[in-house]
Chains A and B, each alone.
Chain A
Amino acid sequence: MAETDPTQNPTDEQLAGKVQDGDTQAFNILLGRYRQKLLRYGNKFLLQPGDIEDVTQEIFLKAYQNIKSFDVARRFSPWIYRIAHNEFINLGKKRKGEPLDFFDFDTFFPHPQSPDTSEKDMDEQHTKAVLGQFLDRLSAKYREPLVLYYIEGLDYKDIAEVLRVPVGAVGVRLNRAKKKLQEMSLNVNNPLK
């Protein structure tokens, strides 16, 4: 099988390497790839996404400033999502009424690591369906991994890198978040229950 020509469709990491060497055009391609993703992430993660565009611009500028700290042997998406996470958290802290309390005992103790492939099952469609309906009712601690997993398509390991928590804690948060979504969905469908 012929290898894909990296000049035709370079990976994020290859582009990041070029940016490190001063290639601004490569950064433009990364902008194109991540602009919509980061805007969507911010819009879904924060309850009042008023200044998301300004913050997204700030995320890209910080990514450019710090690009030489990026290790091209690692994945680029968790790296830029981590910058975005920090910027959105800072934005949330500036605003009143955006509770972003991430203190979590789940990060204290080891948890059995459930494989994230278990999500590729039938209830994934259902979870995605109710996500849009009830996402804003969940706390940020549960909202964020849901957005990163179901909407942004990151795997457990990448989410753990973005949130800087053990992979087991990501599984715990996602399972709890799904359970809460299910409860909300059942309450809406059976209001007398």
Chain B
Amino acid sequence: MQEVIQGRVWTLGDDVDTDGIISGKYLTVIDPDELKKHVFEIALPEFAQGARPGDILVAGVNFGCGSSREHAPQALRAIGVGAIVADTFARIFFRNSINLGLPTVEAKGVRAIFENGDPARIEMRGGTITNERTGVQIHFPPLPTHLLELLEAGGLVEKVRRELAGQAPG
């Protein structure tokens, strides 16, 4: 995880659900490179073609509600999303995203300060997100240490791998 994340913003509305991120018909797809072609087919159809690595998603409340499908953050990670910021997240999506090492930040009021295409700057530990076009900045409570460590490790797989490797054999 980078301490400072910068990127171009794509805005989304409230209650973007997992069907809107990756439709149920793609749930048998395991390959992230295939999944990414279908990301946001329902919620933001122009995204899959127009996304650039490092882009930042800014959404309203309850982003990622619906199913437990990890395909949703997997597809977003595969297409190169740098961070997801929303007023609030649905809980399984939030966990899945952090577990995959994708910076996911809850910042109340964030949706209101961005328009599509604005440049954003996030300070993960400092707890700020700034619209670099308008200069408007809002503060958010930084993620708990436990979750920052997870992101720093690159996700849950790496964190558990280190934990298991650290255990004394037999």
Q: Do A and B come from one complex?
A: no
B binding-site residues for A, Cβ under 8 Å: none
A binding-site residues for B, Cβ under 8 Å: none
